[in-house]
Chains A and B, each alone.
Chain A
Amino acid sequence: GQNIDQPTEMTATEGAIVQINCTYQTSGFNGLFWYQQHAGEAPTFLSYNVLDGLEEKGRFSSFLSRSKGYSYLLLKELQMKDSASYLCAVMDSNYQLIWGAGTKLIIKP
Chain B
Amino acid sequence: GAVVSQHPSRVICKSGTSVKIECRSLDFQATTMFWYRQFPKQSLMLMATSNEGSKATYEQGVEKDKFLINHASLTLSTLTVTSAHPEDSSFYICSASGGRDTEAFFGQGTRLTVV
Residues of A within 8 A of B (CB): 30, 33, 35, 40-45, 48, 87, 95-97, 99-102
How far apart sit A20 and B45, CA to CA, in the bound complex (Å)?
21
Per DSSP, chain B at the interface is: strand
How far does the alpha carbon of A22 sit from the alpha carbon of B55 in the complex, in Å? 33
**Nearest residue in B to A33 (C-beta to C-beta)?**
B103
* Count of B interface residues, CB-CB < 8 Å: 22
Binds A, one of B60-68, B69-77, B79-87, B104-112: B104-112
**Which B21-80 residues have C-beta < 8 A from chain A?**
32, 34, 42-46, 49
Task: Tell me what chain A mostly uses at the interface: helix, strand, loop, or mixed.
Answer: loop
Determine whether B93 belongs to the interface, using a CB cutoff of 8 Å to chain A. yes
Q: What residues of A have a CB within 8 angstroms of the CB of B44 in the complex?
A: 43, 87, 99
